[in-house]
């Protein structure tokens, strides 16, 4: 405990060095000076609270919210001083809000505890005291040897010691970590690979030295020192030796590994980082409005306090005969009395700040987010994937997007690669029926069934089939045994797995052309060249990285020669080539790129004996280094990958996704600028941009590429700015490469932004992942503060997805990292249009009205209380009963606005999609502008004045309103005002509602009915638990007066009639685009197409939820459903969303 406290205070850090030493099987040195280090246990803790800290920690987090803290202060003030209202009026709503939130968060944390206990209690086998012992996962310690069987997940980060294979390899999948489903091969060092039994592992003398834990899944630096017969053998350890917690063992019977990182220090746990909290523009506006209303509250409290003392300067009001002051009151401090009165008025008016606003907004966001997952238009039938909501806090932000930053590969394209063309020795070839045919020739012009390949062709095909990280799965034997047994007779069950779709397409292409990769076995790779088997010994793999943009293998050929095969981007290969048809290949690569093909250049290098010895020595030194290993490896790789012989280039096609062009055009019509950010080369990116409609053929394409210096970049930007100014009539598109972008952002950010803002479309090519994030951040922080959206499918898109206001992941073929780090996830780019133009539009108008309406109804609520003080000498007498004060926001007016904010639709969703320009009506937070806010606030004050003075005119002169001559009193007057207010604010929302369902009717009229029923019961019965009952028989007496009913009707009509006139006037004289579309929809009608029940095909598990909601909302009979447009419509004709019918459609059905 003392050690833990010292660590928390920073006096005793748990790790003193940059490396950790792990003794395998915990065989520590026997000298007495060695103190074993303390490492984290293997428990995973994803929960936030414990049973001991839940209450204080949760309360602390909740009271950090300004509104909650404010109401807590008000509640404490009511307890400490004599205030006009009971502490219950503030305490009960606050208690309700805090309790509901605590229950929700506690339940979510209980689920996390449950999941943690399941993981931590999973059975595992470890080697201890010479035998295999079963224990729980949480009991694994650093240094334990763990056995993992086939299809089991690794319980900790393990360094592989041995497997059931003689060469010590195993296959794993990391789908739960990065979403990649391909098989990956991991290796044991040769000295431990032979220890395949518990007894041999027990006798193993070895030490692992490695870096301290870090979150990077793909980085591991370490070395293993094995002691054999008194001799120490040092072997390097890298990512290929580390088995990560959460990965799964495949196609291998069992493995043994030593735990090096456990529990919360494992790489999987270190990646549990919390994403930065994103706040929507609506939330920021809401906080601004709260501050304004807080100012109004303080102004009213100060004014009332001042007027009270001004009024009391007259003796007859200061101390009337019926309320004489005591000596203590006369002698008390005037300053303290002023403060006390100020606080009392603050309590009296505090309900102008709506505490229930936060709860309603959270409920609206949480419940509303389900509609995205239920929408069958966002369901992809081929992959059986529906839209996914990872955070519901940004729903309304989907309706405010001004910039879309999109990846290209896998986002605009399918990421399904098909080999199309190649260039070998300066000659272009295309594939026809599995044969390489020179360009311009057909298969019929070739003699013989098997093409005759010369040395260059054969070497090129061998390089492509050997330089990769492809794995093979054999379904018949499930991968057990020697994969070479399949080499002699090719099994149709053989399937290639690759982390990159490009590699898989190229290896499959060489197989069709006669050079087939048949498997790897430890250090050996085998291919069959036209039926003849050849074995190559794998000496080294020079892994791909984003800086080099190439990967290489060093092999020993069957003749014993050492050769390097390398492939990569043309900019990473051609500058290092010294022989081969370099210029012709460069031209061919550019031609491939202009066709939209993805290009790779292939080269080789032959080593002499001395050259290879030097290469081997340098690689061994760099790979065994514990410090600066990456830098030293990069230096060695550059030393090796030079003086290359160019073999040729490949062109692979990645076809566009369905309806990409229509989607980009719809976004452009909606006023959204689309940027494409890709790592592809310039020509390929431009070709794809043209084919997908991002660039138009008539667009003037400007280029900022291959800039070498700051001055050159600045001059080019000025030229582009002048050209845009001169040709302002036509549209411009801009192409920027990564190197030029770095220069532009370094010194000329303002000029670059000016050029970009005047371009209709921008394409950034050769982009590194961090550059993508920098571009997004540049626009986020610009003076205009536009709302940005980033969409991508790969791990390289994660940084920009997290940087943008809204991040959307594509469920593609490049893993699930983008999906895991996104706010929303969809299966295809085309779904972005529906997500923004329909769901974003709906969410924004709903929550914007919700926020404004909440402030409006609270102004209506509290302003009569303020006006009443002018008639009661500012004595702090309350106008409403304390029960009404408490239940106004909780019961009487809460449900109508919640249901409105879930189901409201200004326009039918098909109209929103077919007329994307309607999106502009809500852009730039227009419904929450200060002008709109001022309108709702002034409307609330006007209605409040009418409520109060309308009732005062009726009752102010002691008019007898009862048949027996009896007059009304104070509580009857307040109840009349409250009754008029509840009905008016509810009917005001009804006037704002365009889309009526039976649920809207139920909560609207039900809320009014509930108020009357509750008031009759509350005032009609003597409740024994109430100390005083001021409201006894008041409501019954009020309703028994015909004059009161007349007053209620007159006041309500007086409030709402001008609002109706205003709406009619504006809709006919100054209609918005949205209102014009409502007219068209009303006159033409739209058939029942959007109901989920109208379609039988493509329904998955979520359709049951859809049908349930359909029944709730009273949808149409499927047998009578009709469609009013055809499948040949150009844009999203198969519209099958749910919860999107208008009243017109119900009548049609």
> Which residue bears the tokens 């790129």?
593
- Backbone dihedral region of 873: left (phi > 0), alpha (psi from -120 to 50 degrees) or beta? left
Residue 346 token pair: 């603050």
Residue 1021 token pair: 């019965």
List of residues 6+ apart from 510 with CB closer than 8 A: 461, 464, 465, 516, 517
Write down the catalytic residue from 407, 680, 737, 1090: 407
Q: How far is CA 1101 from CA 247, 379, 390, 1110, 1139, in A?
A: 28, 11, 19, 15, 17
Eight-state DSSP code of residue 1135? -
Q: Which of 489, 560, 480 is nearest to 528 (CA)?
A: 489
What is d(CA 193, CA 161) in angstroms, rounded to the nearest whole number? 6
What is d(CA 670, CA 676) in angstroms, rounded to the nearest whole number? 17
Q: Which of 986, 977, 810, 978 is nearest to 896 (CA)?
A: 986
Work out whether strand 550-556 and strand 248-250 pair parallel, antiparallel, or are unpaired.
unpaired
Q: How far is CA 644 from CA 286, 573, 608, 712, in A?
A: 63, 8, 14, 32
Burial of 57 from C-beta contacts in 10 A (0-12 / 13-18 / 19+): middle
Q: Which of 547, 739, 540, 539 is nearest to 631 (CA)?
A: 547
**3-class DSSP assignment, residue 550:** strand
407 is a catalytic site residue: yes
What is d(CA 640, CA 993) in angstroms, rounded to the nearest whole number? 71
Q: How far is CA 479 from CA 515, 520, 612, 781, in A?
A: 22, 12, 34, 53
Residue 494 token pair: 């053989």
Task: Go through 239-249 and write b for each residue having 16 or more CB atoms within 10 A of its CB, e for each that does not.
Answer: eebbbbbbbbb
Q: What is the dihedral of CA 391, 397, 398, 399, to 10 degrees?
A: 150
Q: Which of 924, 917, 918, 913 is nearest to 831 (CA)?
A: 913
Burial of 10 from C-beta contacts in 10 A (0-12 / 13-18 / 19+): exposed
Residue 531 token pair: 């039926």
DSSP string, 781-797: TSTT---EEEEESSGGG
Residue 1112 token pair: 């709730």
Burial of 53 from C-beta contacts in 10 A (0-12 / 13-18 / 19+): exposed
Residue 945 token pair: 């004045």
Terminal Cα distance for the chain, rounded? 71
Residue 514 token pair: 């006669």
Which runs of E-coded beta strand occur in 462-509?
471-474, 494-497
Taken as a whole, the chain contains a residue count of 1149
Contact 832, 404 (CB under 8 A): yes
What is d(CA 936, CA 955) in angstroms, rounded to the nearest whole number? 28
List of residues 6+ apart from 968 with CB closer than 8 A: 955, 961, 962, 976, 1037, 1038, 1041
Task: Go through 64-76 and write b for each residue having 16 or more CB atoms within 10 A of its CB, e for each that does not.
Answer: eeebbebbbbbbe
The helix or strand, by DSSP H or E, that contains position 675, with its residue range, turns out to be strand 673-677
Burial of 192 from C-beta contacts in 10 A (0-12 / 13-18 / 19+): buried
Please list the active-site residues: 407
């Amino acid at each position: 405990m003392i050690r833990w406290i010292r660590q928390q205070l920073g006096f005793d850090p748990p790790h003193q060095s940059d490396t950790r030493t792990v003794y395998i099987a915990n065989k520590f040195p026997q000298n007495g000076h060695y103190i074993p280090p303390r490492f984290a246990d293997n428990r995973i803790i994803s929960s936030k609270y414990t049973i001991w800290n839940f209450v204080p920690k949760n309360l602390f987090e909740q009271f950090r919210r300004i509104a909650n803290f404010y109401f807590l202060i008000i509640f404490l003030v009511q307890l400490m001083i004599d205030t006009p209202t009971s502490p219950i009026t503030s305490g009960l709503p606050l208690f309700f809000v805090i309790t509901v939130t605590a229950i929700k968060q506690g339940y979510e944390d209980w689920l996390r505890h449950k999941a943690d206990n399941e993981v931590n209690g999973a059975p595992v086998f470890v080697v201890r005291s010479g035998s295999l012992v079963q224990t729980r996962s949480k009991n694994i310690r650093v240094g334990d040897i763990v056995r993992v069987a086939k299809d089991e997940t690794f319980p900790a980060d393990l360094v592989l010691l041995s497997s059931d294979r003689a060469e010590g390899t195993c296959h794993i999948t990391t789908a739960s970590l990065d979403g990649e489903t391909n098989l990956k091969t991991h290796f044991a060092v040769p000295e431990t690979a032979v220890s395949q039994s518990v007894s041999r592992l027990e006798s193993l003398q070895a030490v692992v030295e490695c870096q301290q834990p870090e979150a990077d899944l793909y980085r591991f630096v370490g070395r293993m020192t094995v002691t054999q017969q008194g001799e120490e053998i040092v072997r390097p350890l890298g990512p290929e030796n580390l088995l990560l917690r959460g990965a799964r063992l495949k196609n291998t019977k069992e493995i043994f590994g030593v735990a090096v990182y456990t529990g919360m220090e494992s790489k999987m746990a270190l990646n549990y980082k919390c994403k930065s909290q994103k706040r929507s523009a609506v939330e920021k506006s809401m906080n601004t409005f709260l501050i304004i209303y807080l100012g109004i509250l303080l102004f009213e409290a100060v004014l009332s306090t001042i007027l009270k003392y001004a009024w009391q300067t007259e003796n007859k009001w200061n101390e009337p005969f019926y309320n004489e002051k005591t000596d203590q009151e006369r002698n008390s401090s005037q300053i303290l009395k002023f403060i006390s009165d100020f606080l009392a008025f603050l309590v009296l008016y505090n309900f102008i700040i709506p505490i229930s606003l936060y709860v309603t907004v959270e409920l609206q966001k949480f419940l509303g987010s389900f509609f995205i997952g239920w929408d069958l238009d966002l369901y992809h039938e081929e992959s059986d994937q529906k839209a996914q909501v990872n955070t519901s806090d940004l729903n309304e932000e989907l309706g405010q997007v001004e910039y879309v930053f999109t990846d290209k590969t896998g986002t605009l394209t399918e990421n399904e690669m098909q080999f199309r063309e190649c260039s070998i020795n300066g000659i272009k070839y295309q594939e026809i029926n599995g044969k390489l045919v020179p360009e311009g020739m057909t298969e019929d012009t070739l003699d013989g069934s098997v093409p005759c390949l010369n040395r260059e062709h054969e070497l090129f095909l061998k390089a492509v089939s050997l330089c990769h990280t492809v794995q093979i799965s054999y379904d018949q034997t499930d991968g057990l045994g020697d994969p070479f047994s399949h080499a002699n007779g090719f099994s149709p069950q053989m399937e290639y797995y690759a982390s990159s779709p490009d590699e898989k397409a190229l290896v499959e292409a060489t197989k069709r052309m006669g050079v087939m990769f048949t498997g790897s076995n430890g250090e050996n790779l085998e291919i069959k060249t036209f039926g003849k088997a050849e074995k190559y010994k794998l000496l080294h793999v020079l892994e791909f990285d984003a800086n080099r943009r190439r990967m290489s293998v060093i092999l020993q050929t069957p003749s014993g020669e050492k050769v390097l095969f390398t492939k990569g981007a043309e900019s990473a290969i051609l500058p290092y080539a010294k022989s081969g048809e370099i210029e012709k290949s460069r031209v061919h690569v550019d031609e491939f790129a202009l066709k939209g093909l993805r290009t790779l250049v292939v080269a080789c290098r032959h080593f002499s004996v001395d050259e290879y010895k030097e290469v081997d020595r340098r690689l061994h030194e760099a790979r065994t280094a514990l410090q600066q290993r990456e830098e030293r490896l990069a230096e060695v790789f550059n030393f090796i990958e030079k003086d290359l012989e160019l073999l040729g280039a490949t062109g692979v096609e990645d076809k566009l996704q369905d309806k990409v062009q229509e989607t980009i055009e719809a976004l452009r019509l909606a006023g959204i600028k689309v940027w494409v950010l890709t790592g592809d080369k310039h020509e390929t990116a431009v070709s794809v941009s043209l084919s997908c409609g991002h660039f138009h053929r008539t667009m003037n394409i400007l280029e900022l590429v291959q800039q070498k210096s700051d001055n050159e970049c600045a001059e080019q930007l000025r030229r582009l700015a002048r050209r845009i100014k001169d040709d302002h009539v036509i549209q411009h598109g801009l192409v920027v490469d990564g190197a030029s972008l770095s220069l532009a952002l370094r010194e000329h950010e303002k000029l670059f932004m000016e050029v970009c803002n005047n371009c209709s479309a921008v394409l950034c090519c050769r982009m590194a992942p961090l550059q993508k994030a920098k571009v997004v951040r540049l626009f986020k922080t610009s003076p205009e503060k536009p709302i940005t959206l980033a969409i991508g499918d790969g791990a390289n898109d994660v940084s920009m997805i997290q940087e943008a206001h809204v991040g959307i992941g594509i469920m593609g073929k490049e893993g699930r990292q983008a999906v895991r780090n996104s706010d929303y996830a969809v299966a295809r780019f085309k779904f972005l249009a529906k997500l923004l133009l329909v769901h974003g539009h709906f969410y924004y108008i709903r929550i914007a009205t919700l926020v404004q309406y909440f402030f409006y109804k609270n102004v209506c609520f509290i302003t009569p209380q303020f006006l009443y003080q002018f008639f009661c000498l500012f004595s702090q007498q309350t106008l409403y009963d304390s029960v009404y004060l408490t239940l106004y926001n909780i019961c009487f007016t809460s449900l109508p606005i919640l249901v409105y904010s879930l189901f409201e639709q200004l326009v039918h969703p098909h109209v929103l999609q077919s007329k994307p320009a309607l999106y502009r009506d809500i852009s730039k937070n227009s419904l929450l502008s200060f002008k709109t806010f001022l309108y709702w606030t002034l409307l609330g004050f006007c209605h409040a004045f009418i409520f109060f003075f309308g009732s005062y005119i009726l009752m102010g002169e002691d008019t007898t309103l009862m048949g027996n001559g009896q007059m009304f009193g104070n509580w009857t007057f307040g109840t009349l005002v409250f009754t008029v207010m509840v009905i008016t604010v509810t009917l005001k929302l009804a006037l704002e509602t365009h889309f009526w369902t039976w649920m809207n009717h139920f909560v609207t009229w039900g809320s009014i009915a509930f108020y009357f029923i509750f008031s009759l019961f509350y005032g009609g019965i003597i409740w024994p638990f109430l100390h005083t009952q001021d409201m006894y028989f008041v409501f019954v007496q009020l309703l028994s007066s015909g004059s009161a009913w007349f007053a209620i009707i007159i006041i309500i009509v007086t409030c709402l009639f001008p609002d109706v006139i205003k709406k009619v006037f504006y809709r006919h004289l100054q209609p918005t685009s949205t209102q014009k579309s409502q007219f068209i929809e009303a006159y033409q009608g739209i058939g029942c197409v959007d109901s989920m029940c109208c379609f039988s095909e493509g329904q998955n598990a979520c359709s049951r939820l859809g049908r349930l909601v359909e029944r709730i909302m009273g949808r149409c009979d499927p047998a009578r459903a009709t469609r009013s447009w055809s499948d040949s419509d150009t844009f999203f004709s198969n519209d099958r969303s749910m919860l999107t019918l208008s009243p017109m459609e119900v009548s049609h059905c």
